[in-house]
Each structure stands twice: as C-alpha cells, then as structure tokens.
Amino acid sequence: SAFEDPMVNSLHVKVSGCPNGCSRHHIANIGFHGAATKGDGNQVPAYEVFLAGNYGNQDPVRFGHRVKAKVPAKRVPLFMNEIISFYQDNRSKEEPFNDFVDRVGT
C-alpha cells in the first residue's frame, strides 16, 4: 500500500484555498490551490496542481511545476491515488518523487 512506502510517506502535500499560497502549495511535492472550472456548463470548484516543489531539506528550495489541467475538487482523492500509483509503478528503485517528475514531466 502507498502508506507503507517510505518514499510516499516522505512527500509533502499542501492545499491552499486560493493562489495567495498561505499553505505554501507552490513549494510542496504535490500542491493544490483553489480555482474553478467549467463542468456541464456550470462553474465548479477545482484545484490548480503543482508538482515537484521543494523546501526544508538539503536540496534547494524550488517552485513546483504547474499542471496544465485543473482537477475538479471532488476528484482530488482519485487524482492523488492515480499520481501516487503512477509514481510507485514507474520510478526507479529509490528515485525521489521530484526526480521522477523531472524525468517523466508533468
């Protein structure tokens, strides 16, 4: 399971309600900030997604890469499961998440 994987457990996930970044979503391994998108012709709550940010360890601080598509708020748990599973299934043995994102892209 993802929760038994030390590489996954070391990830920083941050969520902000808006782009102001109070939770520092832009420097998390996986970050979200509130937004809106069109769904069935109506505006629905969504999140902008940022991947491979960094802070607080020996690597330099860096901003995450913005993913081009917004994720509807109700689909964030599914998105998290998919991104974590993709990382676990396709990384090199001890490849950190940010290195993996740099290698495969956003």
* CATH match of 2-104 with 3.30.413.10: yes
Cα–Cα distance for residue pair 39/21, rounded to 1 Å:
25
Joined together, the tokens standing for residue 37 give 């998108």
Residue 65 · residue 87 · CB < 8 Å:
no
Domain definitions of the chain by residue range: 2-104
In the prediction, which pLDDT does 2 show? 61
Phi-psi region of 90 (alpha: psi -120 to 50; beta: other; left: phi over 0): alpha
pTM of this structure? 0.90
Instruction: State pLDDT tens for residues 8-22.
Output: 999 999 999 888 888
How many whole angstroms from its chain centre is CA 22?
16
